């Protein structure tokens, strides 16, 4: 009599595994912690973006025969985006469940579930750092693939010139406060009906050190560190002239090359508290049971290997981080 396969249990169905991997903690991602790119599920793998006066708005792809979106000639432009598809696979080998192979008791099922969770957590971490990389690309206006190749250049696609602000730290007489104020005024002017509560600037360690050691900023930085701040890491946040500067050292590897999310001596400023400027669109997986459903951040599925020599795990994510107002993305440099 053949032995029962524990992975046939409903606890290891696509729905259960997808729910499990989405509940697992995200160990990577400042963007996720900040909720800068909240999730927005869609039902299709392709979306259309409408541009009007430099503002981008999402328009869903409709079934054939549906009324089309009406645009005003000469004032609006429609462009379509295919949401990236990111699959990842792993395997649970028989020896990993050796000794707990007998099936039928709840404790044994829980033990096998623990093995599965360990694999799902590792896979979840890889998807998380990948999503952080994509979101940082959207925050910079150029979304890059894992190998550094370009997926979408929002500036080029929507004919919006990038904004660069040079802080000129090499000049001791540079009025850094005035530079910060001008940057904020630019963002306020570029809101185009949007709202913001504050301005954040994620910077490289080189930029942060140059900023806090500049003669026009050094005294303010010392005052900022008084009191309780002396017992904390001030690289986390430093507010100067209404802009919160934060050192960010995120990086990821494609297996051969490790790439920094923020280049040395640079930073990226953007507004916080916006209503609909930043989103991450999630499309559904390419499974029969997920057709025309709202996309989830992550999906997981398993199936037995040939000759029952293990269990293959398949995970996938279909994310598209998007900034609807690329004019609000400011690259800061130092000279």
pTM above 0.75, yes or no: yes
Pairing of strands 198-203, 266-272: antiparallel
Q: How far apart are CA 78 and CA 100, in angstroms?
A: 56
> What pLDDT is stored for residue 70 in this prediction?
53
Q: How far apart are CA 213 and CA 217, in angstroms?
A: 7
> What pLDDT is stored for residue 211 in this prediction?
96
Between the alpha carbon of residue 313 and those of residues 17, 92, 129, 130, 241, the distances in Å are: 10, 7, 19, 18, 50
Query: Which DSSP string do the residues of 105-170 spell out, in sequence order?
Result: SHHHHHHHHHHHHHHHHHHHHHHHHHHHHHHHHHHHTEEE-TTS-EEEEHHHHTT---EEEE--TT
- Quickly name the fold that domain 162-275+327-333 has: capsid protein of prophage fold (3.30.1930)
And the tokens for 270?
């953007």
Q: How far apart are CA 23 and CA 247, in angstroms?
A: 29
DSSP label of 29: -
The answer to whether residues 243 and 203 touch, using CB atoms and an 8 Å cutoff, is: no
pLDDT (tens, 9 = 90+) of the chain, 335 residues, equals 345 666 777 778 999 999 999 999 988 889 999 999 999 999 999 888 877 666 666 665 656 566 655 544 445 677 889 999 999 999 988 888 766 544 455 556 667 788 888 999 999 999 999 999 999 999 999 999 988 899 999 999 878 899 999 999 999 999 999 999 999 999 999 998 889 999 999 999 999 999 999 999 998 888 877 754 555 565 678 899 999 999 999 998 877 888 899 999 999 999 999 998 999 999 999 999 999 899 999 999 999 998 888 899 999 999 999 998 999 999 999 99
> What pLDDT is stored for residue 12 in this prediction?
85
> What pLDDT is stored for residue 57 in this prediction?
65
| Residue located via tokens 């005035």 | 178
Using only C-alpha atoms, the chain has a radius of gyration, in whole angstroms, of 24
Between the alpha carbon of residue 249 and those of residues 136, 139, 200, 231, 252, the distances in Å are: 12, 15, 15, 21, 10
Question: What is the b/e burial string over 187-197, where b = at least 16 CB atoms within 10 angstroms of the residue's CB?
Answer: beebbeebebe
């Amino acid at each position: 009599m053949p032995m029962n396969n524990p992975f046939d249990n409903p606890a290891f169905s696509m729905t259960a595994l997808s729910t499990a991997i989405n509940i697992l903690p995200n160990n990577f991602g400042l963007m996720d912690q900040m909720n800068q790119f909240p999730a927005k599920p869609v039902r299709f793998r392709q979306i259309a973006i409408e541009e009007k006066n430099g503002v981008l708005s999402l328009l869903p792809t409709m079934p054939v025969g549906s009324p089309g979106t009406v645009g005003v000639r000469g004032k609006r432009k429609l462009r379509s985006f295919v949401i990236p598809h990111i699959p990842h696979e792993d395997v649970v080998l028989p020896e990993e469940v050796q000794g707990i192979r007998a099936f039928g008791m709840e404790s044994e099922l829980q033990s096998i579930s623990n093995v599965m969770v360990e694999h799902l957590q590792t896979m979840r971490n890889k998807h998380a750092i990948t999503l952080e990389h994509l979101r940082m690309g959207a925050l910079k206006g150029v979304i890059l693939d894992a190998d550094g190749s370009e997926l979408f250049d929002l500036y080029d696609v929507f004919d919006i010139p990038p904004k660069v602000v040079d802080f000129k730290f090499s000049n001791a007489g540079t009025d850094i406060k005035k530079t910060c104020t001008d940057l904020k005024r630019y963002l306020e002017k570029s809101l185009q009906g949007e709202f913001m509560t504050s301005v954040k600037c994620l910077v490289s360690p080189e930029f942060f050190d140059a900023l806090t050691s500049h003669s026009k900023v050094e005294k303010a930085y010392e005052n900022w560190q008084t009191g309780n701040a002396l017992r904390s890491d001030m690289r986390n946040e430093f507010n100067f002239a209404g802009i919160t500067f934060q050192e960010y050292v995120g990086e990821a590897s494609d297996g051969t090359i490790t790439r920094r999310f923020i280049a040395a001596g640079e930073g990226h400023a953007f507004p916080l508290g916006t209503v609909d400027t930043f989103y991450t669109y999630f499309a559904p997986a390419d499974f029969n049971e997920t057709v025309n459903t709202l996309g989830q951040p992550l999906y997981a599925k398993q199936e037995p290997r040939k000759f029952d020599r293990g269990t293959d795990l398949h995970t996938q994510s279909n994310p598209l981080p998007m900034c609807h107002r690329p004019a609000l993305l400011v690259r800061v440099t130092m000279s």
